[in-house]
Amino acid sequence: MKKFFGEHSYNMVKMLLNQFATAIFGFVLFLATKKAENIALMNVTSIAAILFYLFLLYTMTWEIGYHDRVAVAQGRKKKNVFTGALISLCANVPNFIYAIFITLAVFINAGEGSFIANIGGICSFLALFLEGMFTGLLSNHIGAVSLGSHWFVYFLIPLPAILVCGIAYYLGLRDVKFTSLFDPIVPESDRDPAEKRRK
């Protein structure tokens, strides 16, 4: 595990920064559409921000998988198809921490002003800075309360990212791409020997 963190700590931080930047973008869109009082537009912009975030993760993790493919082919690295999902899982630890404290605040009826209630409120606020792209969708009401009022939603939010990263890494590992727009640039020394022979 220590080796895994050593190899991928940069990628984890990069994923977290991508999430932070997209969350701010998504939250700004939410504020603009909320001011316009257009629920349909609010949902569309929220979905667009989420898809943009997942797209960033997909392209990033696909390249990680592709570079690992070369290392695996040269015997420098063991093949692990779950690497992408594991990197994303580690990058999403702050989201799960928020979810845990929000859940504790809901289920431990310690009263307003208590430590748990305060921590839950702080985590709900901080979640906006990491999960802002979901804010538009979470503002939709189911019955009398908004979707964002349900504790279990915060455990579901990281799942699309983990799933997309898992799929992207696997496809990169197998050199399967849907477009040539994002062909990775690989140094000559790191290229697959079979690819070198073809050239």
Own/partner contacts of 172-175, CB < 8 Å, gap of 24 or more, are 172/61, 172/62, 172/63, 172/64, 172/65, 172/66, 172/67, 172/68, 172/69, 172/84, 173/65, 173/66, 173/68, 173/69, 173/72, 173/79, 173/81, 174/65, 174/69, 175/66, 175/69
pLDDT for residue 190: 53
Q: What is the mean pLDDT of the chain?
A: 85
pLDDT digits (tens, 9 = 90+) for 24-66: 999 999 998 888 888 899 999 999 999 999 999 999 999 999 9
Give kind and range of the element (H or E) at residue 3. helix 2-35
Is pLDDT at 178 greater than 80 in this prediction?
no
- Name residue 7's amino acid: E
Q: Give the integer Cα–Cα distance in Å for 102 and 123.
A: 7
- Name residue 42's amino acid: M
Is pLDDT at 88 greater than 60 in this prediction?
yes
